[in-house]
């Protein structure tokens, strides 16, 4: 008589594999990309103009030169013209935005005109920065952090708490620009005050840094349209949105990019 | 309010009158009624047929509790009781008074070539009035190859035309272009909100505990309602009321055990069936994964008790739980619990009543462990449900069903608990869904059979939590906080289907149905995630409405050995929901991220089945299109819905080599999902980002896969038998895409590449199934 025995199987074949594939993506007509920044700190405003590329194109800097760029203060109707300093970068030394004022950016390229409006909100003070070290390295996005894979391998993740007090009465939108050892960190940190309007904020920013690094945090107050733009941009970069689309720009006429008028409050901390 | 109730009462009276009108009583007739069951174990048989041989072969089918009722004029009759896979039984009756005849049918010993693929009656598809209906026989699926060797009724269903799977390892499915939340999945009448285990690799239905599954592809009669695409009606086994039995199975990643037996022999029985995975136990033994966890278990239990020939009580329940843990930092566990208590009562031999109390709960809990502020987020949907149904059998030409259903829904979107407190920032919401219905199966002439019915459905958005008023830009302009109901939605849902018998072997059918849906799943993909968000109607979100028209041709040939069907459908869907561009899925007021519009779906479904012989199986093909038109998306133009698939082919074959060996193969091919891919790139804010041109403008690569299976029956002992099943999933190792992402190339940072992640190739499995008697 035959005998059968049960063989204990203990394999788990949950293996996933990744590979680069060819996808036939539609060629698209190039579109202009305008990045306008107007700060309430002198010398920190600039406008950058470039264009879109197809996936297989490898031009490092598709700058658009020869554009006419102006910024108008809607209150005083004063118009400043920006000059091209390097290819595709337009600046005017001494150009300074004023809190509470609304500005219009106008860019003329050939016979196309692109315009955007942005308001500098009232300033919010950055009181202090406090560092918190996390146990172990943690990759992945925390609140406001994007945790882009592949960036800064080997550095540990730390938390820096920017302490500030949110003003009452209206919805405030914030962006934190983080600089690590004089290099601007790619990650987009944005926040609004929904849920903690009028209170002191102790929410941390999660960044990669090592002992001895010098980290500067710039607390910027931005308007709602700019906040929405960066929210959408962050979703796009992380490919995390259910419905990826170009972030809604405050520029008209089909231009990509944004015009951001903002306040600026910086503080620096040495990492321990 | 009272006026409205009066109006409702009048409406009911009118409806009942209209429905009962066709059933003018015949002079001097008597009723034969009773229950049909399996002689050996007492399991009631659903859809077993009673035919009156010397009365134009008129007959009836047993209902979901095995009950049948036939009213005939005084006289002598020859009654034939039959059920596929069982021996026919003939009884001569001289009808001079009402009679109760309970029949136990004997199973045919399964010889080679007598495999039951589906359908309880050989030519049921020809003779019934309903269309768009598929029955999945649990015994038949045991031979099909499946992932990890665990047979799965939901996955087998996805091999039928018109039903499309979500992809590798997904239990989520779409029916006739609907989305995954538009399927009403009922387990003993209790709605199951998430029918998947292990992130979709298993379904929640343990096939050992399941008796019968019926799928209605949007054409369900009026006793069903609440979803616009389909109804999957799953009935659990009752348990052997003659003998005790233990059966089970040992597989690669899970095991199961099933115990059943009589409580009082021949009168009442119980069944308990459980499953558990043990991958987590092995993970603990490895250094690399010891802090990770991925597991599930579930338990089905049922008990029934017969008080008398007129009263029977069923209590059944399901409890299942999944757990996923990563590095002890992040944990998520989720699961369904359902409980159903049903009371069958026979008022008389023509009037059958069933009253059900149903509880259903689905929740998931996310735990975040960190040393600053550990917290957990609980989301839950909970239903209390009362169903009353009457079935009335006035004569052999009519079968009426009427009743009502009231469900109290509670949805907690995200309750946050930390060391200090519990907070409900998104607010628990309540809704009251009710329905009133009547439906009749009417044999109008010898050739024409009609099912018609009406369902009135009502949904009350209850107060007690905040609702919002939005402006055109989706900004919140006002908050509605009141204890009174916020909004009421009333819908009329007519249902109609007609079959015209051309001859003994073929029929033509046509149907129109309207369904509405008051609960909606806001999901970011076609896959099933435990964290998908269920929401109810609000003052802003309206009930979804689906209208479907379908026509079909059904033909059996070679003495019912082959079964062919062709069905086409056109469906229009109103109040469809989609995310706006760049939606924030975490927004506290989700309405600010949503857009509403309409959808349409149309297609052709072909099915050729071979039901008898050594070789059995089917070939199914679906040609279809599903589109949406929502203002604010793609310049307000029609666009392909994510689940739109042009072609869908499945080939299912089973072959009996000998008494002990049988082999099977399944091949599927599907057009890829519609998806949004970027069309270019640009640099902004120091980072490369993608340029998009339209939503769902691209296609995932096509999905195809071959699975192979074999079953070997081990030597049978007196009280014990067992079998080994072998399977090979994805036999030719196709790398089907799970996700596609776009990245900067590692070798050239200025170049962008598309990276495809696929889940698995060549998954072998073996499992050992046994049965003690």
- Over residues B39-50, the mean pLDDT reads 84
At B155, is the secondary structure helix, strand, or coil? helix
Q: Do domains A32-119 and A126-245+263-270 have the same CATH topology?
A: yes
Percent of chain A with pLDDT over 90: 40
Q: Say whether pLDDT at B86 is over 80.
A: yes
How far apart CA B552 and CA B557 sit, in angstroms, is: 17
- A241 to chain B, any CB pair closer than 8 A? The answer is yes
Q: Which of B255-264, B584-593, B687-696 has the lowest mean pLDDT?
A: B584-593
Residues in chain A: 272
Q: Distance between CA atoms of B201 and B171, rounded to whole angstroms?
A: 7
With residue A260 as reference, give the H or E element that holds it. strand A256-262
pTM of the model: 0.82
SS3 B221: coil
Which of A15, A21, A223, A248 to probe the B interface (max B CBs under 10 A)? A21
pLDDT at B716: 83
**What residue of B is the nearest CA neighbor of A30?**
B680
How many Å apart are CA B128 and CA B501, to the nearest integer? 10
Enter the ipTM.
0.84
CB B298 within 8 A of CB B306: no
Interface contact flag, B757 A16, Cβ < 8 Å: yes
Q: Do residues A131 and A159 touch, judged by C-beta distance below 8 A?
A: yes
- Smallest Cα–Cα separation from B130: which of B28, B250, B216? B216
Question: Residue A55 and residue B750: Cβ atoms within 8 Å?
Answer: no
The CA-to-CA distance between both ends of chain B, in Å, stands at 60
Shortest CA distance from B734: residue in chain A: A17
Domains of chain B by residue range: 2-105, 234-772
- For A17-75, the pLDDT digits (tens) are 778 877 777 667 789 999 999 999 988 899 999 999 887 777 667 889 999 999 999 88
For the segment B415-453, what is each residue's pLDDT rounded down to a tens digit?
A: 778 777 777 777 889 999 999 999 999 988 888 999 999
DSSP-derived pairing of the beta strands B29-38 and B103-105: parallel
What letter does residue B582 receive in the DSSP assignment? T
Q: Which two tokens stand for residue B13?
A: 């009276």
List, for residues B516-553, the tens digit of each pLDDT value. 999 998 876 545 566 678 889 999 999 999 999 999 99
Mean pLDDT of chain B: 84
Give dist(CA A215, CA A129) in Å, integer: 10
* Confidence band of B134 (pLDDT split at 50, 70, 90): confident
Please say if the pLDDT value at position B106 is more than 50.
yes
**Cβ atoms within 10 Å, residue B47:** 20
* Distance between CA atoms of residues B261 and B240, nearest Å: 5
Selected residue with higher pLDDT from B2 and B475: B475
Contact (CB<8Å) B755/A194:
no
Burial class (CB in 10 A: 0-12, 13-18, 19+), A20: exposed
Please tell me which residue of chain B has the smallest CA distance to A63: B683
* A31 contact residues in B (CB cutoff 8 A): 682, 691
Contact B320, B205 (CB under 8 A): no
Closest chain B CA to residue A257: B684
Yes or no: is domain B234-772 CATH 3.30.230.10? no
Q: How far apart are CA B610 and CA B556, in angstroms?
A: 10
- Summarised one tens digit per residue, pLDDT across range B592-619 is 889 999 999 999 999 999 988 889 899 9
- By Cβ distance, the residue of B372, B585, B692 closest to A244 is B692
Residues B665-699: pLDDT tens digits?
999 999 988 888 888 888 888 888 888 888 888 88
Domain A126-245+263-270, what fold? Immunoglobulin-like (2.60.40)
Of B275 and B107, which is predicted with more confidence? B275
* pLDDT tier, B559 (very low <50, low <70, confident <90, very high otherwise): confident
* Residue to test with chain A: of B149, B180, B583, B680, most A Cβ within 10 A: B680
Residue B288's contacts (CB-CB under 8 Å, 6 or more residues apart) are none
What's the pLDDT score for residue B5?
52
Q: Which residue has the higher pLDDT, B192 or A76?
A: B192
pLDDT value of residue B381:
92
Yes or no, beta carbons of B697 and A26 under 8 Å apart: yes
CATH number of A32-119: 2.60.40
CB contact under 8 A, A28 and B370: no
C-beta atoms surrounding B373 within 10 Å: 9
CA distance B620 to B606: 6
Partner-chain contact A23 B740, CB within 8 Å: yes
Residue B407 pLDDT class (50, 70, 90 cuts): very high
B689–A186: do the CB atoms touch at under 8 Å? no
CA geometry: angle B243, B304, B156, nearest 5 deg: 80
Report whether pLDDT(B126) > 70.
no
Interface test with A, best of B630, B685, B728 (most A CBs within 10 A): B685
- CA-based nearest distance B148→chain A, Å: 9
Residue A170 CA, chain-centre distance (Å), reads: 23
pLDDT of residue B327: 65
CATH architecture of B2-105: Sandwich (2.60)
Kindly report, residue by residue over B317-370, the tens digit of the pLDDT: 999 998 877 766 677 888 899 999 999 999 998 999 999 999 999 998 888 776
Mean pLDDT by 10 residues, chain A (272 residues): 26 58 75 93 91 79 89 88 92 90 94 94 90 55 37 69 86 91 88 80 85 91 93 81 84 92 92 84
- Residues of B within 8 A of A247 (CB-CB) are 582
Contact B277, B295 (CB under 8 A): yes
Parallel, antiparallel or unpaired: strands B476-481 and B448-461: unpaired
pLDDT of residue B2: 46
More confident residue, A94 or B113: A94
**Domain ranges for chain A:** 32-119, 126-245+263-270
């Amino acid at each position: 008589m035959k005998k059968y025995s049960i063989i204990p199987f203990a394999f788990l074949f949950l293996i996933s594999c990744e590979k680069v594939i060819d996808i036939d993506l539609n060629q698209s007509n190039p579109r202009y990309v305008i990045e306008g920044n107007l700060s309430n700190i002198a010398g920190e405003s600039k406008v950058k103009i470039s264009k879109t590329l197809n996936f297989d194109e490898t031009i490092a800097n598709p700058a658009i030169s020869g554009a006419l760029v102006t910024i108008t203060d809607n209150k005083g109707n004063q118009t400043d013209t920006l000059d091209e300093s390097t290819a595709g970068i337009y600046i005017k030394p001494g150009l300074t935005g004023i809190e509470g004022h609304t500005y219009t950016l106008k860019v003329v390229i050939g016979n196309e005109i692109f315009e955007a409006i942005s308001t500098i909100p009232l300033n919010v003070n950055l009181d202090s920065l406090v560092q918190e070290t996390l146990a172990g390295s943690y990759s992945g996005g925390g609140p406001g952090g994007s945790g882009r894979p592949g960036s800064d391998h080997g550095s540990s993740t730390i938390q820096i708490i920017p302490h500030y007090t949110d003003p009452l009465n209206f919805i405030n939108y914030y962006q934190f620009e983080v600089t690590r050892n004089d290099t601007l960190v790619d990650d987009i940190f944005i926040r609004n005050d929904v849920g903690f309007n009028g209170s002191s904020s102790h929410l941390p920013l999660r960044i990669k840094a090592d002992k001895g690094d010098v980290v500067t945090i710039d607390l910027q107050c931005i308007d709602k349209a700019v906040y929405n733009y960066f929210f959408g941009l962050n979703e796009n970069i992380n490919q995390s949105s259910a419905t990826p689309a170009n972030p809604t720009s405050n520029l008209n006429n089909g231009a990509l990019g944004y015009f951001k008028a903002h306040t600026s409050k910086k503080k620096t901390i040495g990492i321990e | 309010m009272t006026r409205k109730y009066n109006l409702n009462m009048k409406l009911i009276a009118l409806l009942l009158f209209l429905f009962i009108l066709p059933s003018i009583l015949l002079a001097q007739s008597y009723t034969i009624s009773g229950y049909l069951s399996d002689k050996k174990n007492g399991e009631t048989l659903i859809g077993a047929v009673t035919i009156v041989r010397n009365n134009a072969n008129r007959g009836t089918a047993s209902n979901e509790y095995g009950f049948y009722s036939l009213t005939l004029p005084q006289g002598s009759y020859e009654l034939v009781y039959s059920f596929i896979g069982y021996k026919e039984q003939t009884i001569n009756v001289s009808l001079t008074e009402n009679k109760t005849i309970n029949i136990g049918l004997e199973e045919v010993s399964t010889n080679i070539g007598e495999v039951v693929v589906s359908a309880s009656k050989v030519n049921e598809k020809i003779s019934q009035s309903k269309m768009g209906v598929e029955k999945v026989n649990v015994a038949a699926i045991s031979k099909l190859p499946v992932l990890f060797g665990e047979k799965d009724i939901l996955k087998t269903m996805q091999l039928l035309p018109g039903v499309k799977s979500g992809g590798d390892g997904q239990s989520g499915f779409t029916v006739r272009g609907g989305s995954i939340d538009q399927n009403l999945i009922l387990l003993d009448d209790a709605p199951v909100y998430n029918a998947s285990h292990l992130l979709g690799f298993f379904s929640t239905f343990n096939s050992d505990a399941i008796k019968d599954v019926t799928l209605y592809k949007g054409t369900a009669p009026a006793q069903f309602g609440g979803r616009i695409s389909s109804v999957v009606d799953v009935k659990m086994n009752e348990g052997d009321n003659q003998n005790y039995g233990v059966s089970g199975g040992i597989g690669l990643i899970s095991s199961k055990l099933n115990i059943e037996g009589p409580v009082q022999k021949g009168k009442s029985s119980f069944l308990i069936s459980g499953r558990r995975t043990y991958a987590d136990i092995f993970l603990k033994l490895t250094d690399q994964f010891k802090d990770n966890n991925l597991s599930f278990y579930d338990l089905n239990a049922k008990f029934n008790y017969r008080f008398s020939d007129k009263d029977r009580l069923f209590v059944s329940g399901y409890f299942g739980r999944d757990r996923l843990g990563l590095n002890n930092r992040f944990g998520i566990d989720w699961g369904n619990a359902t409980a159903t208590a049903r009371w069958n009562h026979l008022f008389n031999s023509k009037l059958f009543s069933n009253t059900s109390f149903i509880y259903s709960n689905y929740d998931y809990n996310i735990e975040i462990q960190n040393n600053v502020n550990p917290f957990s987020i609980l989301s839950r949907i909970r239903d209390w449900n009362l169903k009353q149904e009457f079935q009335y059998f006035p004569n052999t030409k009519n079968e009426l069903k009427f009743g009502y259903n009231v469900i109290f829904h509670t949805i907690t979107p995200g309750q946050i608990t930390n060391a200090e407190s519990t907070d409900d920032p998104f607010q628990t919401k309540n809704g009251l869904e009710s329905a009133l219905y009547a439906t009749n199966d009417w044999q109008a002439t010898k050739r024409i059979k009609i099912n018609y019915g009406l369902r009135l459905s009502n949904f009350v958005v209850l107060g007690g939590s905040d609702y919002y008023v939005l402006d055109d830009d989706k900004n919140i302009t006002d908050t509605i906080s009141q204890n009174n109901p916020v909004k009421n939605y009333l819908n009329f849902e007519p249902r109609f289907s007609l079959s015209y018998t051309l001859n003994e072997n073929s029929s033509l059918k046509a149907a129109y149905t309207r369904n509405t849906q008051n609960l909606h799943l806001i999901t970011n993909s076609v896959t099933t995630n435990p964290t998908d968000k269920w929401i109810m109607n609000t003052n802003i979100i309206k009930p979804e409405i689906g209208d479907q028209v379908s026509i079909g041709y059904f033909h059996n040939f070679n003495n019912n050995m082959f079964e062919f069907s062709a069905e086409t459908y056109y469906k229009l869907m109103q109040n469809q929901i989609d995310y706006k561009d760049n939606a924030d899925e975490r927004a506290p007021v989700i309405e600010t991220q949503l857009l509403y519009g309409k959808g349409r779906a149309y297609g052709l479904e072909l099915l050729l089945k071979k039901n008898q012989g050594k070789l059995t199986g089917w070939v199914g093909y679906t040609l279809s299109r599903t589109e949406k038109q929502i203002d604010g998306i793609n310049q307000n133009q029609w666009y392909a819905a994510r689940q739109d698939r042009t072609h869908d082919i499945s080939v299912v074959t089973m072959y009996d080599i000998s008494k002990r060996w049988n082999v099977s193969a399944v091949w599927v091919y599907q057009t890829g999902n519609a998806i949004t891919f970027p069309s270019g790139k640009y640099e902004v804010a120091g980072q490369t980002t993608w340029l998009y041109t339209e939503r769902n403008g691209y296609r995932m690569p096509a999905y195809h896969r071959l699975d192979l299976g074999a079953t070997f029956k081990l030597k049978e002992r007196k009280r014990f038998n067992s079998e080994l099943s072998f399977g090979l999933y994805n036999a030719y190792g196709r790398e089907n895409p799970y996700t596609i992402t776009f990245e900067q190339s590692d070798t050239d940072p200025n170049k962008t590449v598309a990276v495809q992640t696929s889940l698995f190739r060549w998954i072998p499995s073996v499992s050992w199934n046994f049965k003690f008697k």
